[in-house]
């Protein structure tokens, strides 16, 4: 089926498509978001930031919220479990006049240091609190507020529909649903049926998340669940081209092959240079080790090459290493 790619209205904001980059801590920074937007992502998401850290005026937290016009539209994602902190963070963010399109509240992060503190997916234990948090954000924010949830906290608490309805009651303009429980983390298959259940229950747009890695899987999710858009997160690691592939496939059913090795290596180098310009060479090169592993996955000798890249500390060293391995690197 074609024609599944379309604009999506969330609250009073029109997003120019329905294929989103999800927020990923340590991954979806400015340089990566720019590459994904360039390759066709309709909306890109910042790394999540702590509402309390915003309230404390933490400098590193504000750095994570830096955005540029070229990546618009972009969503900003907060996490926290205290209504007052969410409200104050929204006030402070609004005062900074950061040009983002949507404010998302994270209610799905499964990592222990977040969920163990009552944030992220732990909020799904208390739908009434979800409603209050969303209402606080809506009252203190001048842009649409959305939420990202999971199938449930664990197999004994599969309450995505109840949580989505609570978010809608609080004023959420859209809901993203990841088809795994917190207990599953990222293992096993995502259960898309829960996305369909949420779509059936709420009147706001629903974004499906989980196991979308290419055009056919995006099409299948849209058809099977009736959701309004898809979110790609881990499937974009080392593969910003996935958004181009999905857009084309949803538009006319055409396949776009993954780029040749030359283009992948050149993108890796471009990404590294952008990251160094954005956050400095020391930090950027440390983070680029993971990105390099994702870009080079499947290459002959990738394991040995990753080992060499892990010893690199300077951009010039990475450039020299890749030129030696791939003369066309540039």
Given 109, 163, 227, 276, which residue is catalytic? 109
Please choose, from the candidates 163, 179, 162, the residue with its C-alpha nearest in 3D space to the C-alpha of residue 221: 179
Q: Cβ neighbours of residue 122 under 8 Å, at least 6 residues apart?
A: 81, 114, 115, 116, 153, 182
Residue 48 DSSP label:
P
Q: Cβ neighbours of residue 274 under 8 Å, at least 6 residues apart?
A: 31, 34, 35
Burial of 265-297, coded b for 16+ CB within 10 Å and e otherwise, reads bbbbbebbbbbbebbebeebbebbebbbbebbe
Query: Residue 90 catalytic?
Result: no
Q: Cβ neighbours of residue 121 under 8 Å, at least 6 residues apart?
A: 107, 108, 109, 110, 114, 115, 149, 150, 153, 182
CA R_g for the chain: 20
Q: Give catalytic residue positions.
A: 109
């Amino acid at each position: 089926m074609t024609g599944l790619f379309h604009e999506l209205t969330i609250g009073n904001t029109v997003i120019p498509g329905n294929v989103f980059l999800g927020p990923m801590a340590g991954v979806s920074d400015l340089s990566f978001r720019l590459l994904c937007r360039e390759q066709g992502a309709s909306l890109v998401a910042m790394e999540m930031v702590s509402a309390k850290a915003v309230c404390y005026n933490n400098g590193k937290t504000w750095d994570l919220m830096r955005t540029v016009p070229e990546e618009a539209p972009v969503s900003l994602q907060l996490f926290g479990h205290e209504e007052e902190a969410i409200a104050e963070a929204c006030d402070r963010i609004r005062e900074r006049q950061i040009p983002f399109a949507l404010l998302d509240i994270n209610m799905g992060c499964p990592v222990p240091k977040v969920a163990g503190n009552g944030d992220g997916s732990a909020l799904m234990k208390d739908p009434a609190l979800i409603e209050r948090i969303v209402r606080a954000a809506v009252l203190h924010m001048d842009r649409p507020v959305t939420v990202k949830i999971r199938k449930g906290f664990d197999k004994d608490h599969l309450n995505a529909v109840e949580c989505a309805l609570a978010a809608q009651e609080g004023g959420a303009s859209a809901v993203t649903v990841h088809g795994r429980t917190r207990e599953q983390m990222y293992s096993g298959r995502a259960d898309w049926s829960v996305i369909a259940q949420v779509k059936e229950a709420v009147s706001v747009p629903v974004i499906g998340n989980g196991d979308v890695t290419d055009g056919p899987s995006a099409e299948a999710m849209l058809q099977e669940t009736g959701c309004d858009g898809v979110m790609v997160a881990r499937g974009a690691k080392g593969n910003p081209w996935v958004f181009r592939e999905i857009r084309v496939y949803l538009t006319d059913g055409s396949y776009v092959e993954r780029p040749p090795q030359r283009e992948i290596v050149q993108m890796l180098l471009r990404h590294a240079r952008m990251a160094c310009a954005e956050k400095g060479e020391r930090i950027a090169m440390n983070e680029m080790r993971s990105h390099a592993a994702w870009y080079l996955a499947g290459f002959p000798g990738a394991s040995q090459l990753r080992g060499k890249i892990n010893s690199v500390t300077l951009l010039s060293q990475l450039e020299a290493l890749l030129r030696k391995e791939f003369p066309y690197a540039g």
